[in-house]
Chains A and B, each alone.
Chain A
Amino acid sequence: EVQLLESGGGLVQPGGSLRLSCAASGFTFSSYAMSWVRQAPGKGLEWVSVISGSAGGTYYADSVKGRFTISRDNSKKTLYLQMNSLRVEDTAVYYCAKHYGSGKYNHGMDVWGQGTTVTVSS
Chain B
Amino acid sequence: DIQMTQSPSSVSASVGDRVTITCRASQGISSWLAWYQQKPGKAPKLLMYAASSLQSGVPSRFSGSGSGTDFTLTISSLQPEDFATYYCQHTNTFPHTFGQGTKLEIK
Contact = CB atoms under 8 A, between A and B. Distances in A.
Interface of A: 35, 37, 44-47, 50, 59-62, 95, 97, 100, 105-110, 112-115
A106 B98 contact: no
B96 A112 contact: no
A112 B44 contact: yes
Contacts of B38: 45
Interface string B84-107: 000101011011111111000000
Contacts, number: 66
A36 to B, nearest CB: 12
B97 A109 contact: no
Contacts of A44: 87, 98-101
Given A105-B91, A109-B44, A113-B43, 9 more contacts: A37-B44, A47-B89, A47-B95, A62-B1, A100-B55, A105-B94, A107-B34, A107-B49, A109-B34
Nearest to A47: B96
Given A107-B50, A108-B46, A112-B44, A47 B36 contact: no
B83 interface: no
Contacts of B36: 45, 108
Interface string B44-88: 111011100101000000000000000000000000000000010
Contact of B101 (A45, A110, A114): A45
Nearest to B56: A110
Contact of A108 (B1, B43, B91): B91
B34 A108 contact: yes
A90 to B, nearest CB: 16
Contact of A115 (B34, B43, B48, B91): B43
